[in-house]
Amino acid sequence: RLQQEVLSRQSRDEMVALKQQYADDLARNVSQQRASLLSELQRTFDRETKAINERYTQQLRVASDKMQQTLAEEREQRLAELEKYRAELRALGTVLDSSSTYEAFSHRVHKTSMAALALSDRVEAAAPLRSEIRALREAARNDPLIDAAVKSLPQSVIEEGAPSVGQLQERFKVVKSVGHRAALVPEDSGIIGQAFGSALSLLMIPPGGPIEGTDADAVLSRAEFALKAGDIEKAIDEMKGLSGVPAQVSKDWISAAESRLAVEQTAKVIKAHVALLAASCS
Whether the Cβ atoms of residue 223 and residue 235 lie closer than 8 Å to each other: yes
- What are 149-155's contacts with CB under 8 Å, separation 24+? 149/266, 149/269, 149/270, 149/273, 150/266, 152/262, 152/266, 153/129, 153/262, 153/263, 153/266, 154/259, 154/262
**For 213-229, what is each residue's pLDDT tens digit?**
888 888 999 999 999 99
Instruction: Please give the distance of CA 59 from its chain centroid, rounded to a whole number.
Output: 59
Q: Among the ranges 17-26, 31-40, 264-273, which has the highest mean pLDDT value? A: 264-273
| pLDDT bucket at 203, cuts 50 / 70 / 90 | very low
Which amino acid belongs to residue 208?
Answer: G
**pTM of this prediction exceeds 0.75:** no
CA distance 271 to 146: 10
Over residues 132-153, the mean pLDDT reads 87
pLDDT at 152 over 70: yes
CA distance 135 to 144: 16
At 224 the pLDDT is 92
